[in-house]
Each structure stands twice: as C-alpha cells, then as structure tokens.
Structure 1
Amino acid sequence: MRHPEQQYLDLMEDILARGDARVDRTGVGTKSLFGSMMRFDLSDGTVPILTTKRVYWKLAVKEMLWFLTGGTNIQPLLKEKVTIWTDWPLATYRRETGEEISQKEFEQRIVEDDAFAARWGELGPVYGKQWRRWLGPDGREHDQIAALVKGLRENPASRRLLFHAWNVPELGGMALPPCHMVYQYHVTSDGRLNGLMYQRSCDVLLGLPFNLTGAVALQAMLAQQAGLRLGEFVWMGGDVHLYLNHLDAAREQLSRTPRPLPRMTLTPRAESIDAYRIEDFVVDGYDPHPPIKADVAV
C-alpha cells in the first residue's frame, strides 16, 4: 500500500521538476505550481504529521489553540515557546524604530513587558479575529467556530458547515493575509467527520507540515465536540511553492523514506471547543527523521 506521505513528497518533487520560476512578495523567489490536492484517511487514528523530517507538532497544535482564542497578539504564543509568528512584528519594529534588536531580545521584551507587547506584538485582524469575531457591516461580531459546532451537532447534513478568514475590508491591516483561508466539513451518514482545508498560498517546505498538523488537530476537536468519528482530511492548495533558498532542503527531504505515521488521540471530551489545552493531545508512535532547517521568507 502506498504511504500517505508520498503525496507530499510527490508534490515537492513535482515543484522541483516543473515549477514556474517567479519573483514573489518576499523577494526571495519561488518555484510554483497552481492547484494541488492531497487526501488522508484519519479513521484509523493516524494523522499526517510528516516523518521525513521532524515536525514539532506541539507548536502547530498550540498555534491552532491560539487561533481558537480569537487572539491577534504574539505574547501568548511566546509564553508557550511558539516563535513562528515573530518574524512579522519584529520586521515592523526594526523598520519603524531603526533598532537592530535581536529576535531573542525582542521576544523577551514581548513576554515581559505588556505595554511593549500591546504596541509591537500585534498582528492585526488575522485568523483568530476572523474565526471568532468577524465584524459584520452592522457592527455585530460573528463567531464562525461556535456556529460551526452548533451546525455539526444540529444539522450535520448541511452543506454550509464552513468558516473562512478572507475578510476583504480587513486584509490591509493584517501582518499576513490568511494562507489557509477556508475550512469546510462534511458529515457522513454513518457519523464520520470529513474536513477540507483550502490554502491559497502554501510554503511547501516550512508551512505545509504545520498546516496539516493544525488542521487535523482542529478536525479532531470538532469531531469530539459533535460526537462524531474522524473520516478523511482533504488538503487543497492554490499557489503551492518552494522558495529558492529551500531547494536543497527539499532535495534532502526527498532522499528520505517515510516511516509509519503516528496516531493522535484526545483525552476525554472538553466542555467546549474553547476548553482544549495542549495536554489534551497525545501523539503515539512518532519516529521521524531528523529536522531540516530553513529560513522563513518574510
């Protein structure tokens, strides 16, 4: 049987072989393809936490839990040792103040100084704001996640079980417009929850492994809250790319053979979608190859 992770490796290989060379927003440059799909069966408990390099899955799950809080400031993330969002506010701070502060010092000040964090740790109305506090034209806020959980419980055959983050009037205020922008869900007649995530822009080497992990963690939480079993997770990408400074790292990853995927389980049902903590997630059987380092393009 073909290893599920091979889909990811095939995508990476395809980009290397025939990706279009493009000048991108960051100035780094990419090799890019348009339109891709992967499918993962979660029904046996396995999850697509990649094995051809170590994925720090707890960081990805902590990020997802932060999204669910509706937060837009990196201070709570940094207190949890999650640094994946630091690059954007750090770049803003350096540009606006002219101070060549180190990343470590910047993060320490965010953690220790609430006033500094309030001024420099904000990302604007990014994911969590749109998921939990989408602002309507009448001034009312809309909690898309609460509505989704209600829909899964009360109207599981609906074709409107989705949420998204592409709020056009607020894009300009975001540190980074949403990449994984639409999530849709489908409940089968035998009680399985299928999930689909569409990603308009996908950094295949660094971003995608985190995005897969976070999305299946969210699907597991939603299934538990609605009393459903896990079915299939479908990932769809628009502009899928490798940055030009990631090509050697991609080739290194392609030289490795996938190992058995791990299993993810949740502790007994949390009171609500807001009550989950990182301690509620258990991953067994994760035996990946060593990590592969690469720089984030900002």
Structure 2
Amino acid sequence: MKAYIDIGKQILDEGVWLENARTGQKTLTIIGATFEHDLSDGTVPVVTTKKLFWKSAIAEMLGYIRGYSSAAQFRAIGCNTWNANANDNQAWLDNPHRKGEDDMGMCYGVIGRAFPGIEDDEPLDQYKKIVTDLSKGVDDRREIMTFNHPNLIHRACLPACMHTHHFNLLGDDLYLESYQRSSDYALGQPFNHFQVAFLLLITAQITGKKAKKMRHHLSNVHLYENQVEIFKNQQVDREPLALPSLKINPEIKTLEDLETWVTMDDFELLDYQHHDPVKYPFTV
C-alpha cells in the first residue's frame, strides 16, 4: 500500500484548505488520484498501516448489491457505516422525503438495482444486467452500474461518493474501473479501495470469469481538519506490510446466492498483517 502513503503525503504537502458547507469542517484537498491493483496474483489491496475493519466493508458492498435502503438492514449484516448519515444528518432529518428512522432514501444500491425508468419504462436492474451479460461472455462496453441519479440527490441522505463501476471483459479476464467523486482519505479510502477489489472478485466468481485488474479513480481527495495531525503523526510514516488474500466461499455461484443466504462467515482474509489501529473522527 505504498501508493496510499505516497498520495497521503501529497495531500499533506500540496493540499489546499477548502471550506465544506455541509459538514462545517475544512478539508485539506487535492484533485485527482488513481489506485491500480492486479488481483490475478491472489492478493487484495488492504491497508496495512492501520487495521481495516474489512468485514464491515464487505457487508456494506453486499448491502448495495442487495439494494438496501435502510441503515437497519446494513446493521443486520454487520455494517454500521450508515447509522449516522441516516439518523444524525440534520439536513436529512429535515428532508420531507425521509421515511423515518434509519431510512437512507434513494442512494447507492437502491439506484444500482432499480434505476428509475421514465414514464412507462420499468426500473433497470443494472447489476443483474451486468451479471447476465458477463455470464454469457457478453461485453457491450456498457457494463456499467451507477449509484448516482443527479435528479434524485435531494431524496438521498448522502449522494453516492463512489458512484460508478464499469466492468470490462477481455477473453475470460474481468477488469473493473471505479469512480469516486469524494474521498475521505483517512477513513473512507481504505474502506472503498478494498470494496472495489471485493466487487471485482465476487462478480468474477458468480459469472465464471477471472478477476484481473482494478483501477480506483478519485476526484476530490481530502483529509478533514480534525484528521490531519492524526494522519501525519500516527500513520503516514509507518512501513507498509505484505498484502493478504481474500478467501471466498466457492459455494457462492449466483447473484441469487448473494441476495439470499450469504453472510460474513463466507469470507476470510488470509495472512492479514497490520499496524496498530488508528482512531479518526467521523464527520457527518
């Protein structure tokens, strides 16, 4: 994870302070960064300079795949990342479209699994279309799942940060390009980067393809002002360790499996070595 440390140093050295109206916190910001990792060697890009709660990262992506719209649904599978945005975000609490406690609105998996149609058109299940095509060896250069609907941002507790995933097939090798508009570099980035790898691996498994290379493209990359000194003093000078591998239950064979019986017990991170945890404040 040398790239993670190098980009972190770039934020510290070249970042510009910006005001953030939504959070009331300043951010030290750079624009543009890309992570690349070849998964065919069996390793997965997991941060080693601190402890990553990787099961929660998988649970969140599994919730997106299932189209979850409630923080309670995410909690039930071991992910607590949506509690604050669903229940402590004042702008969302005041939003007339909020349906009550734990409601997340129309974001992430809701859009990914049922992108609203126009007039008489049925909602589009983007991920099912991708899985169906790839399983047949089809790549129409439009194997894209987006969690972003610009006209429905006002009906979501948080517009999708990692908003688009584009799959490409070369022979039996499956590639994934993922795009993120906003990256909380201390807390979110290690989480999201691992999720890109997981999405590629699990999609390859249920479509019978081979996971090849992932690229994770970031646009607005930042550290919040209450994270900068912690990152600088506790994490940035740590030496990265060897990367682990992810073992996925081979009995997971279909999208229906992911939608129904899969739990976190079906995944195991092998040979994960890491430095001590680093506690960063979370900004809603």
- The reply to whether TM is greater than 0.5 is yes
- 1:60/1:213 contact within 8 Å kept: yes
Q: Which among 283, 289, 294 is matched to residue 269 of structure 2?
A: 283
The CA deviation at 1:219 is 0.9
The CA deviation at 1:153 is 2.1
Residue 145 of structure 1: aligned partner: 127
Letter in 2 for 1:31: L
Residue 195 of structure 2: aligned partner: 214
Taking the aligned partners of 1:211 and 1:182, their CA distance within structure 2 comes to: 12
Residue 168 of structure 1: aligned partner: 150
- 1:93/1:120 contact within 8 Å kept: no
Residue 49 of structure 1: aligned partner: 46
Taking the aligned partners of 1:123 and 1:95, their CA distance within structure 2 comes to: 9
Taking the aligned partners of 1:128 and 1:95, their CA distance within structure 2 comes to: 18
Aligned residues: 274
Taking the aligned partners of 1:95 and 1:187, their CA distance within structure 2 comes to: 39
Q: What is the SS of the residue equivalent to 1:149?
A: helix
Does 2:195 align with 1:198? no
Letter in 2 for 1:295: P
The CA deviation at 1:93 is 7.2
Identity of aligned residues (%): 28
Q: What is the SS of the residue equivalent to 1:211?
A: helix
The CA deviation at 1:223 is 0.3
Q: What is the SS of the residue equivalent to 2:247?
A: strand
Query: 1:241-298: per-residue Cα shift (whole Å, max 9, x none)?
Result: 1111111221121121111110012111424224232222121000111111111111
Residue 26 of structure 1: aligned partner: 23
Taking the aligned partners of 1:176 and 1:96, their CA distance within structure 2 comes to: 12
Q: How does 1:254-273 map to 2 (within 5 A)?
A: 254-273=236-255
- 1:263/1:284 contact within 8 Å kept: yes
Q: What is the SS of the residue equivalent to 2:181?
A: strand
For structure 2, the 5+ residue unaligned runs are: none
Q: What is the SS of the residue equivalent to 2:69?
A: coil
Taking the aligned partners of 2:243 and 2:25, their CA distance within structure 1 comes to: 32
Taking the aligned partners of 1:118 and 1:169, their CA distance within structure 2 comes to: 19
Give RMSD over aligned pairs. Answer: 1.9
Residue 82 of structure 2: aligned partner: 85
Taking the aligned partners of 1:287 and 1:131, their CA distance within structure 2 comes to: 33
Q: What is the SS of the residue equivalent to 2:240?
A: coil
Residue 294 of structure 1: aligned partner: 280
Q: What is the SS of the residue equivalent to 1:275?
A: helix
Query: 1:11-51: per-residue Cα shift (whole Å, max 9, x none)?
Result: 11001100111001311110111111111111111001111
Q: Which among 247, 251, 259 is matched to residue 228 of structure 2?
A: 247
Q: CA 1:135/1:294 → structure 2, altered by over 3 Å: closer, same or farther?
A: same
Taking the aligned partners of 1:93 and 1:171, their CA distance within structure 2 comes to: 16
Residue 230 of structure 1: aligned partner: 211
Q: How does 1:108-119 map to 2 (within 5 A)?
A: 119=100
Q: Which among 32, 37, 62 is matched to residue 35 of structure 1?
A: 32
Q: How does 1:117-132 map to 2 (within 5 A)?
A: 119-132=100-113
Q: What is the SS of the residue equivalent to 1:295?
A: coil
Q: What is the SS of the residue equivalent to 1:234?
A: strand
Taking the aligned partners of 1:96 and 1:133, their CA distance within structure 2 comes to: 24
Q: CA 1:166/1:279 → structure 2, altered by over 3 Å: closer, same or farther?
A: same
Letter in 2 for 1:67: Y
Letter in 1 for 2:273: D
- 2:87/2:93 contact within 8 Å kept: no
So what's the TM-score if we normalise by structure 2? 0.91
So what's the TM-score if we normalise by structure 1? 0.87
Does 2:173 align with 1:177? no
- 1:69/1:274 contact within 8 Å kept: no
- 1:194/1:230 contact within 8 Å kept: yes
Taking the aligned partners of 1:232 and 1:11, their CA distance within structure 2 comes to: 20
